[in-house]
Copies of this chain bind each other. A is one copy, B any other.
C-alpha cells in the first residue's frame, strides 16, 4: 500500500507499549544476551531506538521541510547507543523510549503535514534524494525491523533447547539480512 500518514502514526504509537509488554521484567537471560560476537542484545536494540528518536527521524523531517535537497542529513550513528546506554537499566531505556516517542509524535502531528509536504525532497548521505513520505514510512518499518530482530535474538537463546523442533521454527534460520 502507499504511504498513509495516519497509519504510520498509528503503528509508531504502538511500539513503546509493545516493547514494554515484551521485554520489561523478563529475566536478563532473555534481554541481555545477543547472537554472538558483534551482535546486539534486546537491551542494545532498545538503546538504538532511543538514539533514533533523538537524532534521526524528526530532525531529518525538519531538515527536509526547512532545507529541502540543499542540506544532507547527518549520518546516523548505529553504534551510539553503546555509549548512551552505559549504566542504564532496560527499564530506564524503555521509559526513555516511551517518552521520546510520545514527544516526537506530538511534534509530527503539530506539523499538520499535507500531501504536498509529504512529497518534499531531502538528501540522504548515501541514498541520495528521498522524500518526507519515504522517511516517515521508514520510521515505521524501522520499528518492525527491530521487533523482528528482537524476536530472533530471543529465539536464538533456545536454539538448542528446542531439539528436533528447530526444523519447524523459521526464526531460528533467519539471518540478520544485513540489517
State the A residues within 8 Å of B (CB).
1-4, 6-7, 10-11, 14, 17-18, 20-23, 25-27, 29-30, 33, 124, 127-128, 130-131, 133-135, 137-138, 140-142, 144-145, 147-149, 151-152, 154-155, 157-158, 160-165, 167-174, 176-179
Nearest to A3 among chain B residues (CB) is: B161
Question: How far does the alpha carbon of A140 sit from the alpha carbon of B154 in the complex, in Å?
Answer: 9
A165 contact set on B, CB distance < 8 A: 127, 130, 134-135, 137-138, 141
Checking B141, B164, B168 against A171 with a beta-carbon cut-off of 8 angstroms, the contacting residue is: B141
- How far is the CB of A32 from the nearest CB of chain B, in Å? 11
A151 contact set on B, CB distance < 8 A: 144-145, 147-148, 151
Given known pairs A7-B29, A20-B21, the reply for A170 and B149 (CB within 8 Å) is yes
A148 B155 Cβ-Cβ under 8 A: yes
Question: How far does the alpha carbon of A141 sit from the alpha carbon of B154 in the complex, in Å?
Answer: 8
- How far is the CB of A140 from the nearest CB of chain B, in Å? 6
A177 contact set on B, CB distance < 8 A: 170-171, 173-174
Number of copies: 2
Checking B18, B148, B163 against A134 with a beta-carbon cut-off of 8 angstroms, the contacting residue is: B163
A131 contact set on B, CB distance < 8 A: 163
A141 contact set on B, CB distance < 8 A: 155, 158, 162, 165, 169, 171-172
B11 A26 Cβ-Cβ under 8 A: yes
21 CB-based A-B contacts, threshold 8 Å:
A3-B158, A3-B161, A10-B26, A11-B30, A14-B22, A18-B18, A127-B165, A127-B167, A130-B163, A134-B163, A134-B165, A140-B158, A141-B158, A141-B169, A145-B155, A147-B151, A168-B179, A169-B179, A170-B177, A170-B179, A173-B178
